[in-house]
Amino acid sequence: MRAVLLIAAKDLRLRVRDRSVWLTAVVAPLALAATISVALGGLGQGSHVSIAVVDADHGPVGALFVQSLQSPQLRRLITSKPVASPAVAQSLVRTGGVNAAVVVPAGFSERAGSGSADLQVLARADQLLGKGVARAVADGLLAHVAAARLAVATAASLTPEPDAQLLAAVASDAARAEAGDALADRSPGRPVAPATYYGPAMAILFLFFVAGFGARSFLAEQRDGTMARLLAAPVRPMAVLAGKAAATFVVGLASLLVMYGVSALVFHARWGDPVAVVLLCMAAVVAVMAATALITTFARTDEQANGYTGAFTFVLALLGGNFIEIYRLPSVLRTVSALTPNGWALRGFSDLAAGAAGVSAVALPLAAVCAFAAVCAGLALRRSPRLVAA
């Protein structure tokens, strides 16, 4: 254990004196996260969408829809603006007065029972986010209408002589679920403020580089002959491996926690439950370390490892949602992102920022990241003699 601590302390001292580590672990992720956050709507501001609502139905379902847009869950994401007619809504959309509009057509409530009802979404071609959110909200309502219809049909089939009050209660319960819930449930990773999303996203992206430094330091020590000197000392090879890994873990975790602290204090980003955030950070660091270590075992030289880990980082960052928010990715890429540790970590961070409480609320992302870490670490350990060799 003494040797592990000595080697870890030596590596930490070397990293602290390396300006490129400071740049990669602290300066660059903070700068990029701030820049992207500002570009996507201001620090601390969410991706807020304004939606005009036309209730041409004037029935109970149309009223429910207008009411659901005022719900607390959606208020952080959407400002709804009731307007008198589809023409007014069209005009607002065209002039940019709103990002999108939803029209509840006349007779919607009556047709809801038959399943033929639909909602009209209006948006300009360049308002992808507004159109997407409006469509998601509309689909959420339609899904709940369908659920209410199914519930009523089921209740009616179970009772030879249906009680009118019972059927009304069933329909009401089924439809009461708010569209905001539907939107949240259907999103892989919940929409959060850019600073909140891109804080961890950029920190995890640069975590790959930080971990890459650590993994490549094995090859650098081989090149410089210091690995031979370490292994000639009365020290087990596993102690060398553990010491160097511990230093990388500390630097990686510090990088994420600095982003956590600065984005929360300076940019007012909301990360959510601190214990869960720290646990997710630790799991992400281990997973990224294990992945980069595994990749590095395939390289013969420091330069080769640099190329491998760089390519690996950008592919995973692209697929995992570090550049584009996961919930804005096409469904195929959202599925692919579930194969990446950074994708799962970002889902966890998004869920926590969106209000998921406690470790149990992010158990699935946490478990997925840990599983990825375990698999990569196992494989990397099997190939570790390539790293810990004179």
Q: Is 14 in the site for another protein (CB under 8 A)?
A: yes
Candidates 10-18, 28-36, 278-286, 332-340 — which segment interacts with another protein by CB under 8 A? 10-18
Q: Which of positions 58-97 make contact with another protein (CB under 8 A)?
A: none
Q: How many CB atoms lie within 10 A of CB 266?
A: 13
Q: Does 17 bind another protein (CB under 8 A)?
A: yes
For another protein, which is the closer residue by CB, 230 or 269?
A: 230
Q: How far is the CB of 219 from another protein (least distance, A)?
A: 14
Q: Which residues are paired to 55 by β-bridges?
A: 104
Which of the stretches 5-13, 58-66, 69-77, 286-294 binds another protein when contact is defined by CB under 8 A?
5-13
Nearest to another protein of 2, 330 (CB atom) = 2
Q: For another protein, which is the closer residue by CB, 6 or 324?
A: 6
Closest by CA to 21, choosing from 323, 199, 243, 247, is 247
Taking CB under 8 A as the rule, does residue 18 contact another protein? Answer: yes
Smallest gap from Cβ 23 to another protein, in A, equals: 16
Instruction: Using the minimum distance from each CB to another protein, give the nearer residue, 7 or 290.
Output: 7
Q: Which residue blocks in 177-325 are alpha helix, DSSP H?
A: 179-186, 194-224, 226-232, 237-265, 274-296, 302-320
The residue (of 202 and 219) whose beta carbon lies closer to another protein is 219
The span from the first CA to the last CA of the chain, in angstroms, equals 21
How many C-alpha atoms does 331 have within 13 Å on its Cβ side?
A: 2
- Range 220-249, binding another protein (CB under 8 A): 224-226, 228-237
Quickly list DSSP for 126-139: T-HHHHHHHHHHHH
Q: Do 326 and 337 form a contact (C-beta atoms < 8 A)?
A: yes
Please say which residue, 36 or 235, places its beta carbon nearer to another protein: 235
Q: Is 114 exposed, middle or buried (0-12, 13-18, 19+ CB in 10 A)?
A: exposed
Under the rule (CB under 8 A), what is the footprint of another protein? 2-3, 6-7, 10, 13-14, 17-18, 224-226, 228-237, 390
